[in-house]
Amino acid sequence: MSTRGGKISYQEFLNRDYRMIHASLLPEQDFYNSIMLGDISKVRKLCRDRFHEKEGLGKLAEDNLQNIKYHFVITTALIARICIEGGMQLSESFSMSDYYILLADQAGSVEEISELHGEMALAYTKRMREIAGGDTFSRHITMCVDYIMEHLDERIRVNDLCGVCGLSGGYLSRLFKAETGVSISRFILIKKIETARNMLKHSNYPIMWISNALAFPSQSYFTRVFTKECGVTPGRFRE
């Protein structure tokens, strides 16, 4: 994989050769992050691949159906905890996980488990979107938020968003602040820091690579902003 002078793009991070690393660092990195951020369109895309056909699943049982059930339980438990970190009430998150794990236990085929996996992932994602207030946004702001979430690997400008939603810069900036409570630039920064936190927790990539992957102008700037937002440096946060 080319890193272009030590740099790795966000998409390269998401699409890297997972056969070279442990199964626990499969595309779940992007998957879990998208659920926590309430990115419904992204989770739908990621769920197109059937759960029981994923590469890298370990052998937890001799029986194939039981093996997939065990992996479903692990995935659901991880999602439940990640959503708690993202703001979901502990009781609600665990109640949802209990519900889907019970359904998985009753499933009679790996295909049923795969269908249930997609249903479970979208249920958590939609709930996280509600918690974040995503469902209260107008059509124009929803379009902008969706664009931001899908382009965190780029330097997103107000003009880019104007092209997406068809509004003027001044009007869009006022509308965005009124509906989200923060400016466009602040919203983008918050989402990039949230993603950086997740990448630091669930991957071993160097901090410089994460900074480049999220289109920060330099590692020093990324470190300064991250420290201001999180109270600790990226290195300390990973520790």
Check residue 3 and give its pLDDT. Answer: 47
The answer to whether residues 168 and 112 belong to one domain is: no
Instruction: Round to whole Å and give the CA distance between 55 and 23.
Output: 8
Q: What is the pLDDT of residue 161?
A: 95
Domain stops at, among 103, 134, 165: 134
The CATH number that applies at residue 175 is 1.10.10.60
d(CA 184, CA 108): 48
Domain count of the fold of the chain: 2
The tens digit of pLDDT for each residue in 221-235 reads: 999 999 999 999 999
pLDDT of residue 101: 92
Residue stretches of the chain with pLDDT short of 50: 1-4, 13, 16-26, 135
Judge whether 176 and 209 are in contact, CB under 8 Å: no
- Burial-class residue 18 by CB neighbours within 10 Å (0-12, 13-18, 19+): middle
Residue 161 counted as domain residue: yes
Domain boundary among 134, 157, 173: 134
In a domain, 62, yes or no: yes
**90 shares a domain with 53:** yes
Asked whether residue 31 falls in the same domain as residue 126, the answer is yes
- Number of Cβ within 10 Å of residue 237's Cβ equals 16
What was the pLDDT predicted at 5? 52
Is residue 124 situated within a structural domain?
yes
Q: Quick one: 95 and 186 in the same domain?
A: no
Find, among 196, 153, 156, 205, the residue nearest to 6 by Cα: 205
- Report how far apart, in Å, the C-alpha atoms of 224 and of each of 68, 90, 221, 229, 232 are: 43, 32, 5, 9, 10
pLDDT at residue number 137: 75
Are residues 168 and 129 part of one domain?
no
Q: What pTM value is reported for the model?
A: 0.57
Residue 150's nearest CA partner among 38, 63, 26, 24 is 38
pLDDT at residue 145, rounded to an integer? 84
pLDDT tens sequence across 93-112: 888 999 999 999 999 998 99
- φ/ψ region of 215 (left if φ > 0, alpha if ψ in -120 to 50, else beta) reads left
Domain that holds residue 183: 137-238
Instruction: State pLDDT tens for residues 163-187.
Output: 999 999 999 999 999 988 899 999 9
